[in-house]
Amino acid sequence: MCGIFAYTGSKEALPILLDGLTSLEYRGYDSAGIYISGADAVKSVGAVENLKKKSMEHLHGTSGIAHLRWATHGEPTEVNAHPHHDTAQQVWVVHNGIIENFKELRESLQATGAQFLSSTDTEVVAHLIARHINSGQSFEEAVTTALREVRGTYGIVVSYALEPDKIIAARLGAPVVVGLGDGENFIASDPSPILRHTKDVLYLFDREIAVITPTSHSIRTLESVPVLREKETIDWEVEQAQKGGYDHFMLKEIMEGPEVVINTVRGRCIEDTGLARLGGLESVAEKLRDIKRINIVGCGSAYYAGLVGEYMLEEYAGIPTEVEIGSEFRYRKPIIDSETLMLAVTQSGETADTLEAIREGKRKGALTLGIVNTVGSTIARETDAGIYNHAGPEIGVASTKAFISQLTAFALLTLFLGRQRGISISTGKEIIEEINRLPEKIAYILETKDRIREVARKYAHVRDFLYMGRKYNYPIALEGALKLKEVSYIHAEGYGAGEMKHGPLAMIDENFPTLAIALNDSVYEKVVSNIQEVKARRGPVVAIATEGNTDVADLADDVLYIPETLEMLSPILSIVPLQLFAYYIAVERGFNVDRPRNLAKSVTVE
């Protein structure tokens, strides 16, 4: 999820673009860059503040494009920072999304003399547009032709040095907003940088292209059909725009669950053969065939994602798997050798304890992989290979969308390793079919948020909460309890439901509620028995149940339903109501859910 901003008008573009990038900084902070039409470009690694420290006295002009990068291809370096240009430095491009066929396009362009400077997928678009301009097409025709040739997703903005006042934007799967001013117009990835200048906007739909100049704008489809669309007036303030109109980043990020699964899965499932295509593992695919055991390391929510991954990998890939808390792994003497896979799970890629665990694994000869959300992070660089989440920046301290992405990545890794070892084509195809249905099923759960809020308000002022689950949803009980602790400061414990008789049952009374995950799966009857144990002690019960199961309603005080899916994928659905439940309880209690006390987003020290 990168940040894009463009301006064309009569004012100096540079200060407007810098100000706009600052308001977009929540969307990415790997690197930043600006191109002023007819002048030059300046780039930097890191946040906008680093860009502002660069010498920019020569960047004079009244039209330009700017970008904040959240890396998906290529490490965060100045070379890989946007904007990117063609060989002649005439066509300049900023891009949010993924060009899936960039390798074949790059090879074709290099064969005809294009000189590439970066390792990003975006640069091919600049060269492709330049190729069509050089063949005699107009600027607008060249952009249209080029976009018909690319596969993937894009929110893209293009500037052409020979037509400096004109900017072209297009959308396919990534948002693009056109801002309409008086003698000036804007393009952005969301309204936040535009609202400082105008509240009149147009939203592009997929496969649409917008052309703006200081005094005009037009929209047409990729098939060149003109589009007439009425402008909308936004009544949000800037901060609300950054949050997409939601009250908090945490809620916005929970609501992005369907998009997160789509982005994590995009281009990685081969439906016909039931295979997972994980480009980040191609270099070690043969070594992975010889792996005899897996050690997963992570901290906090990443550790709980690893526990779900353990169930997946052992059941479907048949590989003995252990999961370790990164901070404890460092002080053990683990049995690791060349047939061991060390797998780090981390949103930031900088978690100190997880990093040291990976380094210890490398010292002992293990193959190391990462499931990481941040391209170019330390763990991404130091592991032998890995899987990028493509979840976009997560601003809320309590992990929500990154956790969903990690679970989805584990499902893909399980499919990848399982098909190497004996999962049948039919089973592989079944898993892929269900993975592809997850976004709509998450969206269905999100539509029930008012019901979840109603139940949350009922329990908002309790002192304690016990979460219980079994098998795949035991780690979800742990994660659900963690979410409640993090943002509401209610004492909550997660337990394997089978452990109730071994101690936790002593705490249960009419003032100690339990949240039970009771889905229609292989352990359903066992969980129902545990719910009955709680009810026998007069404990209130909130149940997460499979849609259509009315029997649970006869036992529990409150029931939240989720759609049915494969048991191995059920955690990706069952965590969603628990995230919303924690969020609404914290809001009811009046706390800042985005910045819980005493916590930081990334733990980079022990």
Q: Which residues are catalytic?
A: 2, 601
Looking at residue 370, its amino acid is G
Q: What is the DSSP letter of 584?
A: H
Which contiguous run of DSSP H or E holds residue 160? strand 152-160
Q: Which residues pair with 603 in a beta bridge?
A: none
User: Closest Cα to residue 297, out of 347, 361, 344?
Assistant: 344
**Which contacts of 506-511 are long-range, i.e. CB under 8 A and separated by 24 or more positions?**
507/464, 507/466, 508/466, 508/534, 508/537, 508/538, 508/539, 509/537, 509/538, 509/539, 510/538, 510/539, 510/540, 511/462, 511/463, 511/464
Q: What is the DSSP letter of 562?
A: E
Q: Do 227 and 210 form a contact (C-beta atoms < 8 A)?
A: no
User: Closest Cα to residue 376, out of 409, 358, 350?
Assistant: 350
How many angstroms separate the Cα of 388 from the Cα of each of 276, 289, 299, 589, 599?
14, 21, 18, 36, 25
How many angstroms separate the Cα of 327 from the Cα of each of 196, 299, 302, 481, 601?
45, 7, 12, 20, 17
Integer Cα distance of 528 and 523 in angstroms: 9
And the tokens for 537? 């002690």
Q: Which residues pair with 491 in a beta bridge?
A: 464
Integer Cα distance of 462 and 453 in angstroms: 15
Q: Give how far the C-alpha of residue 539 lies from the chain's centroid of Cα atoms, to the nearest Å.
A: 37
Integer Cα distance of 478 and 491 in angstroms: 13
User: Closest Cα to residue 400, out of 480, 519, 465?
Assistant: 480
Integer Cα distance of 241 and 257 in angstroms: 19
Which contiguous run of DSSP H or E holds residue 185? strand 185-188
Q: Which residues pair with 407 in a beta bridge?
A: none
Q: Do 14 and 194 form a contact (C-beta atoms < 8 A)?
A: no
Counting Cα atoms < 13 Å in the Cβ hemisphere of 117 gives 15
3-state SS record for 74-118: CCCCCCCCCCEECCCCCEEEEEEEEECCHHHHHHHHHHCCCCCCC
